[in-house]
Amino acid sequence: EIVLTQSPGTLSLSPGERASLSCRASQSVSSNYLAWYQQKLGQAPRLLISGASSRATGIPDRFSGSGSGTDFTLTISRLEPEDFAVYYCQQYGSSRTFGQGTKVEIK
Amino acid sequence: QVQLVQSGTEVKKPGASVKVSCQASGYSFSSYSFSWVRQAPGQGLEWMGWISAYNGKTIYAQDFQDRVTLTTDTLTSTAYMELRSLRSDDTAIYYCAREWAYTGYFDYWGQGTLVTVSS
């Protein structure tokens, strides 16, 4: 099973700042089959990125994904108030597993 | 618009079974598949299994293989997840999520169903 480790566990930032979230896999993720989701309190997750870097429909361009192999990054270029949430990475190259999440909180 | 509407909160005793439904609308039901994902209180996301709404083929996560059954009903555009032999650590929110074929990522999610297992 591919284990995904997200860091940091919590990111404290102010609106307007840049956020960089890391997702590291225990082995290479085939074909960069990696997705990112945003989850707000009391809501279901929302797909942001698939294929490591393709934004889902309706996702603002301040969200971008990058990386390959075992190291992936979600970047939010300028945090908006509605971006404070928990973010999960998920690999789907070998079955499916999720990371443990990164909470982006207001500083 | 695409909607996945799940059934309501369940409270079950240890050893019982639960069946959660997920009714889809706003798209061609048989053209997509479903995955089921659960989230224990304050915890992360855990994939349980996948079912094709086209032909009923299933793939289960190893941790759930012996206790979960996924089904679909094309007449009512509804997907179901049944979990048996419930334990207290099965207490969680259970989500259905839409997936194109077996692509592996989930573009729409249900609102979640809380299942509480307690004696």
Q: What is the pLDDT along chain A (107 residues), one digit of tens a residue?
A: 999 999 999 999 999 999 999 999 999 999 999 999 999 999 999 999 999 999 999 999 999 999 999 999 999 999 999 999 999 999 999 999 999 999 999 99
Checking if the pLDDT of B100 tops 90, the result is no
Give the percent of chain B with pLDDT over 70.
100
The total number of residues shown for chain A amounts to 107
Say yes or no for a CB contact (<8 Å) between B47 and A97: yes
* A53: region left, alpha or beta (phi > 0 left; psi from -120 to 50 alpha): alpha
Checking if the pLDDT of B119 tops 90, the result is yes
DSSP readout, B19-79? EEEEEEESS-GGGSEEEEEEE-TT--EEEEEEEETTT--EEE-GGGTTTEEEEEETTTTEE
**pLDDT (0 to 100) of residue B102:** 82
Q: Which of B32, B99, B105 to mutate to test the interface with A (most CBs of A within 10 A)?
A: B105
Confidence category of residue B108, pLDDT binned at 50, 70, 90? very high
Say yes or no for a CB contact (<8 Å) between A45 and B95: yes
In sequence order, what are the residues at sequence separation of 6 or more whose Cβ sits closer than 8 angstroms to the Cβ of residue A60?
Answer: none
Checking if the pLDDT of B103 tops 90, the result is no
- A94 CB within 8 Å of a chain B CB: no
Say yes or no for a CB contact (<8 Å) between B104 and A35: yes
- The pair of structure tokens assigned to A56 is 């889902």
Confidence category of residue B101, pLDDT binned at 50, 70, 90? confident
Mean pLDDT of chain B: 96
Q: With beta carbons under 8 A apart, name residues in chain A contacting B105.
A: 33, 35, 47, 50, 90, 92
Partner residue facing A44 (CB), from B47, B105, B109: B109
**pLDDT (0 to 100) of residue A51:** 95
Confidence category of residue B49, pLDDT binned at 50, 70, 90? very high
